[in-house]
Amino acid sequence: MTGLLTFGETMGVVAADTIGRLEHARGFTFGIGGAESNVALGVARLGGDAVWIGRIGPDAAGDLIEHRLRAGGVRAVTIRDTSFTGLMVKHRRTGSVLHVDYHRAGSAGSRLAPADIPVETVREASILHVTGITPALSDTARAAVFQAVETAQAAHVPVSIDINYRSKLWSRYDASPVLMDLITRADVVFAGPDEAALVVDGPPLKGLAALGPSEVVIKDGARGCEALIGGEHYALPALSVTVVDPVGAGDAFVAGYLTERLAGAGADSRLRTAIAAGAFAVTVPGDCEGMPSREDLGLLVAASDNVAR
């Protein structure tokens, strides 16, 4: 294969469609979400080649994950497990506060193991992308991440990691040494300012770059992004958009950057596409539903009329 290879847990997503306490919600939507599959979908929708590997349960949520990923252009390698597909439950406690609960302990996705990630598939990839979520799921999932990264390193396949710290999955104390180890093996690292503070003190760009990655990108939401790429410093502002759902914006950003990297684009083009993809994603509800196509990105260009005719 050529293109992006990633793996991890994708869940069913139950989202209340009203603002307030979950107990008062009367309507819900059901979709899918997972950091790694979000990135794979984002890359595919932008015209790149993406493979996602993961375990799913023998249930309707597993069926939906398989269907959505393949329909979205991702080459999904789904391993049917006897355990259930994990669930994420989202509701807006207020108009500006999003609350997320996970139901994933013992799930099919958490049972990912090193044998699930074929060595040859890793060796043939153009880039391997992992996150800090998968190592938090289980010992076997953590082993799968490290084995894949070590295989990629040996085969000179670039390794990308998004720190993606989730406090509901593990403590900062437990996460820090694992993330530090992964970052020292990576070529590209993505992090928010608070996530960078898990592993480095002081300025995040220089601190993370000192660990070894040649490309460090700090995602800072409405403040845009900063990057240190090949020793050059970049800073881009965010685009002004109306935020409907912030979940998935970081994954869209990563997808935009990695798609352009796979296409051989320069650092400035990678970051501009990343910023645009992240901005587009927050304008659409859902974890991955807002992943844009190249044509969609053109809709962000300022115009006097917001009606596409």
Say how far apart CA 289 and CA 33 lie, in whole Å: 9
Please tell me the number of Cα atoms within 13 Å of 187 on its side-chain side. Answer: 15
Q: Which residue carries 């990630």 as its tokens? A: 117
Which of 30, 37, 48 is closest to 77 using CA atoms? 37
- Do the bridges between strand 4-7 and strand 50-56 make them parallel or antiparallel, or are there none, so unpaired? parallel
How far is 268 from 252, CA to CA, in rounded Å? 17
Q: How far apart are CA 39 and CA 41, in angstroms?
A: 5
DSSP 160-208: EEE----TTTS-HHHHHHHHHHHHHH-SEEEE-HHHHTTT-SS-HHHHH
Beta bridge partners of 147: none
- Contact indicator for 251, 39 with CB cutoff of 8 Å: yes
Rounded-to-integer distance, Cα 91 and Cα 28, Å: 9
In the 8-state DSSP scheme, what is residue 13? E
Determine which one of 251, 268, 287, 296 is catalytic: 251
- Relative to beta strand 127-131, strand 4-7 is parallel
The amino acid occupying position 303 is A
251 is catalytic: yes
CA distance 162 to 21: 31
So which residues are the catalytic ones?
A: 251
